[in-house]
Structure 1
Amino acid sequence: MTEPTLTDQALAEFRDYLLRYAIYRLRDEDMAEEAVQDTLLAAVQAKQGFAAQSSVKTWLTGILKHKIIDLQRRAGRDPLLLDSREDEDGDAAGDFATLFDKQGHWGSDGPRTWADPDASLEQQDFWRVYEECAARLPKRTAMVFAMRESLGYDIEEICQNLDITATNCSVLLYRARLGLRHCLELNWFGQEAGQ
């Protein structure tokens, strides 16, 4: 049986898919471009070892996930790569202040009950709004959330990769969920929640 061979052109055909994947996870086009370039370079260098035990797309996505982790590690250690909107705690100034009163309790409205969240997940427009809301999160917060919820890493792996404490990781995840909920209530569920 002949080993499958991959041409550089065949690998390049997946570039757009890989770039979309990386942008979604990194929330930064320059970092995503770097991750994709590193992925394609690694794939070209290792293509003779590709044994077709998975699809080319799955193989490339696996390489890309490792490149994303490497970039996230570097970003976690290099303060210049963090979003300038973030303060030292990794929070965007004022993002959550409007949700709470001066005593730290939910504001007058509190979180609303969503009418039918499962039906929303099936709508294309919902995912567009979700991605816009996720893009508004501070980069470090979005990075931790994506690692946990999209890439499936456990807290220990996230902490190790980004060199943060478990407490800091949990706080960032909480802030991400709170920020997404608030944004989705305003931009998607607002009208149906008020009914």
Structure 2
Amino acid sequence: MDIAAELSSLHQPLLRFAQLQLRHDSLAEDVVSETLLAILETPERFEGRSSLKTYATGILKFKIIDVLRRRGREIHVEPLAEQSVDDALDALFAADGHWREAPPAWQHPERALEQAQFFDTLQLCIDNLPPKLARIFMMREWLELEIDGICGELQITSNNCSVMLYRARMQLRECLQLRWFEDAT
């Protein structure tokens, strides 16, 4: 089966996943299209170390995260049935140029920054794991694959997988302790 045909068969499962996460049909369709296009534009990046579905789902998750981040920073203007986008934007402001209804204030921007910094530190720690441990950890915790699925994908026993997950978690714990929690105190 060629990659284009296989991607075509993945469209619906990826779309269902995106719709569940985004709860917006057109945005879900956009991220799935971007995901499929990214794979088709650089098929050589797919090395076959995982299934194409796993690979595509991983890309899709990052596309969804990007959309969620953008949506958190933007005000979405949805025009009414017989209203243009310009009219919808004008309706947000009074004649003097001030907001009719001010957008809500950021509750705790310092917490959002701290959370982003934590995830940057976590990513650094994951990057420092041995490649196989990092892959198993990401498959289990990020892609939320079951142990049996991981074992089938990597051709390892469930006992070996559990041991490797334990080692990955312990190494991440140690790294976060040194790079995040000790710095915070």
Band the TM-score falls in, shorter-chain normalisation: 0.3 to 0.5
Higher RCO, Cα 8 Å, sep 6+ = 1
Which has the greater radius of gyration? 2
TM-score (norm 1): 0.44
- The structure with the greater share of residues assigned to helix is 2
